[in-house]
Amino acid sequence: MIVRFLRGGQPRRREKTVVFASAIFSFALLLAGCGYGGALAPVRTSIPTGESVAPGLEAYYHQVLTWSGCGDATECATALVPLDWADPARESISLALARHRATGDDRIGSLLVNPGGPGRSGVDFVTSALTLLVDEKLKSRFDIVGFDPRGVGKSTSVRCYEPKEMDGYLYGVSAEPRGSDARLRDDEARAADFAAACKNRSDHLLPHVNTVSAAKDLDLLRAVLGETKLNYLGFSYGTLLGATFAGLYPANVGRMVLDGALDPALSNLDRMLGQAAGFENALRSYLADCLAKSECPFAGSVDEGMNTVRALLDSVDARPLVNHDGRALSGSTLLMAVVSALYSEATWKRLGEMFKSVMAGDANVAFQLVDHYFGRTPEGQYTGNGTEAFVAITCSDYDFRTDDASRQAFVRQLAAAPILGPYLDSDAIQCRTWPIKRSASPVAIRAEGAAPILVVGTTNDPATPYQWAQNLAGQLVSGHLVTREGEGHLAYNRSNSCVDNAVDDYLLLGVVPASDPHC
């Protein structure tokens, strides 16, 4: 398996799936609103701003959305956007939207939310897990609008593998020794096969699945929702999407909060190194907490516990444990089980159960954690296209140097995470054979002229290290940092009232903290 860390996002839930067939729509359809999930009759329309736009974009920006009921207190619609923003008349693709209308009488407007990934479905979160995104105060004053970015979920989406093929890609076990040239060739071949499958099934879409294009889509969504400014709440990867929007359209930024920030100036290798160190630190925090409890499967000091984890990884890598469904638990898959449970202190107990079971020779709990992480059902199906979208967007956004010297330097730097690092070296080659050239270079985003932007960072966030939030808040001319002291990925609506009040006061009242509250 080629190991990768999703860029955080909200913890995955077994959401109710709304059936939606991704499609390419003809340009003529732009003039008519399109609903989806229309088991119920259309209930409302959105009136666009009608603003002046560049020639060729009028039909997109002036389209009228028709909303139909698609769940409890939610309604869904489909927007059309250009496949290629450089050639808008060429072709259009669809974006799926879900909306929970403001419950109070003093509605402010629309608040667009992105749960991260890249590859997480904002539609699914709004229809089935809205309480994970926002609190009751925001639901009262805003229409909460989730969307699946281009390439993701119920929008026109990237497709690469059938479920059995995806199992091989995510859970496959290499017969070659870790760190050997033969293992490197094996990983490269696996990556090349995946890339070829994506090109075969999604060739027309791949060149246009990237964060810059998605940020342009955001501006279009703002306009068709009738908003002169974009109010936005982005988590994890959603912070990069939001910051990119602010850089492109600073005058169109309304109230924007970016929680669990990525540093847009980082190279992909630096990003992966930061996450390796972040998860290593989170593992130490877990062990310190675990060793203070009687039921902990570890003994001794934190350092001894870390060495035990490494020995366990090495053991199953040499002799994989066979699960009841026939899948083999390798060191790479065990690493993903560990990582998936380190996103939140709430899952540390489950992590202890997993370690205990693997020590006893049972792979079942480990596979439950990894399956949950990748959205794999017990029947062997996948609830979305999160993996395919993640790879497509990441490989388009970042520069993946293909020379061996760069990879070797990356491997040497992984020594800063001595326990987990050796199981991450294959990350550096995941996009080596990607058929699409990088769409943009990582660069600091200033967004001069934008309204205040709140950047929220957690001091021991494993997936988006705190330094990244500090960096982004410093880059943005109007950036304001809100620090949460604690463990885990993300802070708003999941940590403490200090963070929640700072975010709510800004989104609801426009009040910016006078200084970092250090929650």
Catalytically annotated residues? 236, 461, 489
Beta bridge partners of 256: 232, 453
Which sign, positive or negative, has the C-alpha torsion 60, 63, 69, 72? positive
∠ Cα 504 498 110 (to 5°): 15
Strands (E), 216-261: 230-235, 253-259
The residue among 239, 217, 238, 219 whose CA lies nearest residue 229 is: 219
Count of beta carbons in the 10 Å neighbourhood of residue 399? 13
H or E element: which one contains 102?
none
SS3 category, 194: helix
- As a whole number of angstroms, the distance between CA 311 and CA 298 comes to 12
Beta bridge partners of 113: 146, 233
- As a whole number of angstroms, the distance between CA 156 and CA 41 comes to 23
Q: 3-state SS of the chain: helix, strand, coil percent to 5? A: 45, 15, 40
- As a whole number of angstroms, the distance between CA 62 and CA 31 comes to 8
The residue among 453, 513, 455, 456 whose CA lies nearest residue 484 is: 456
